[in-house]
Amino acid sequence: MTQDIQTLAEPAAEPRKVFIKTYGCQMNVYDSSRMADALAAEGYEPTENVDEASLVLLNTCHIREKAADKVYSALGRLREMKKTRTAEGKEFTIGVAGCVAQAEGEEIIRREPGVDIVIGPQTYHRLPAALKQVRTGRRVVDTEYAVEDKFEHLPDPKKVAGRPRMVTAFLTVQEGCDKFCTFCVVPYTRGSEVSRPLAQILREAEKLVANGVKEITLLGQNVNAWHGEDEKGRPMGLGDLLYRLAEVPGIARLRYTTSHPRDMDDRLIEAHRDLRLLMPYLHLPVQAGSDRILKAMNRRHKAADYTALIDRIRTARPDIALSGDFIVGFPGETDADFEATMRLVETIGYAQAFSFKYSTRPGTPGAELTDQVPEEVKTERLARLQELLLKQQHDFARSLVGKTMDILLEKPGRMDGQMIGRSPWLQSVNVDAKTLQIGDIIHVRITDTGPNSLFAEVAQG
């Protein structure tokens, strides 16, 4: 006689969830995405709710002092959360990644004993191994520059449960910088310039397209310093890379950032002339308009070199729009130096720009300079510069009213039936598109402008 035995299944363990907070630049956004890929292979699901997370990662920026202050403030709040979770018998791991991690290392553990992992931007592929060590009671600081290629150890980018569909993506092709501008920490936190191999970049681009991506932005701390070799061993620069990526089926749009004027070569300018899928928008920081200040910053170009370069680029691609970075109040900056910056801005005309007051970063040559500009002077200069830049931004936006263009639909808008797309010049465009889908590229006519976006209607015919 046989007896039926009913087996009661054990309830499935709840999946671990990771909350990643990203500070700073597009490179950190990309790195956060790749960390999520690495953790997904270990069974972690992403969450936008920190209360659900068993692992919290702060992917940090060290460019400006306030960014680092925000990180320590967040760590203080997380410390209290960890006390509560530990008392409840729940797992709660805190990790700090990125440039603050690289710059401060063990100091983070000393200041915030609730932190379990400190991992630099060159070693985040080791996150799964670090987590295993944490579960044995260890705390991990891994900020050595990795000998191995981290990209070879990361899983291919893929669709991850819990992430919204993305039709645009970042793709890091270059890291680090050898320029050593005296205000900048990048050479110390990201290391020297390193370029990813051509085959590796093409493979990742193809994977992104397979996952539905239509627009790819190439990233690098100094992206136009990218160099490599083709299959026959011939040297290549960023312009050559863009021509090759333009041949990948499914890529509809290409962008790149951030560039240095000294590495803007003829082949890259030709790519802007020849490739219609290379968007007519260029972020090319100059930082200042005074030759004296540019020399003090170790930029190794003059204001006239920059304006001549812009003339060449605009000749090759007349519809290109410019974006830039500006620092006001660098040590020793006089009223005359600042006025030179204002004249340069008026000469170039920017569609968008980012401007900041100079803040000292420990370990940089600028921090050792004694001729610091008073804070109230920096504040007044920044206000004047931003007023001019904002006027130029609004003037450029208004110049597009009545014109038609293609936009890539990226996400739903706030209003029912509204979609938000991206113009060739990187502006958000609101359009009524009830029958269209995310990922569609549509032809629209611009009807109006808002403070930070455009409004459009689907163009007929």
Is position 314 annotated in a ligand binding site? no
Is position 86 annotated in a ligand binding site? no
> Treating both helix axes as pointing N-terminal to C-terminal, what angle do 303-316 and 335-348 enclose, rounded to 10 degrees?
10
Per-residue CA distances from 456 to 226, 308, 420 (Å): 37, 35, 10
Residue with tokens 């990771």: 18
- Looking at this protein, which amino acid is placed at residue 152? E
Is position 184 annotated in a ligand binding site? yes
Report which of 215, 210, 212 is spatially closest to residue 246, judged by C-alpha positions.
Answer: 215
SS3 29: helix
Per-residue CA distances from 51 to 56, 76, 82, 114 (Å): 10, 15, 11, 16
Q: Both tokens of residue 408?
A: 């890539």
Decide if 328 contacts 290 (C-beta within 8 A): no
Q: Is 387 exposed, middle or buried (CB count within 10 Å of its CB: 0-12, 13-18, 19+)?
A: exposed
- Looking at this protein, which amino acid is placed at residue 333? E
Is position 411 annotated in a ligand binding site? no
Radius of gyration of the chain (CA): 24
**Which stretch of DSSP H or E encloses residue 393?**
helix 375-399
Report which of 449, 340, 439, 336 is spatially closest to residue 402, judged by C-alpha positions.
Answer: 449
Strands 117-119 and 93-98: parallel
Is position 308 annotated in a ligand binding site? no
Is position 205 annotated in a ligand binding site? no
Report which of 357, 403, 349, 407 is spatially closest to residue 382, judged by C-alpha positions.
Answer: 357
Q: For every residue of 42-103, which 3-state class applies, written as one string?
A: CCCEECCCHHHCCEEEEEECCCCHHHHHHHHHHHHHHHHHHHHHHHCCCCCEEEEEEHHHHH
CA–CA separation, 316 and 212 (whole Å): 31
CA–CA separation, 183 and 111 (whole Å): 26
Number of residues that this document lists for the chain: 461
Tell me the binding residues: 25, 61, 99, 177, 181, 184
Feature table: binding site for [4Fe-4S] cluster = 25, 61, 99, 177, 181, 184
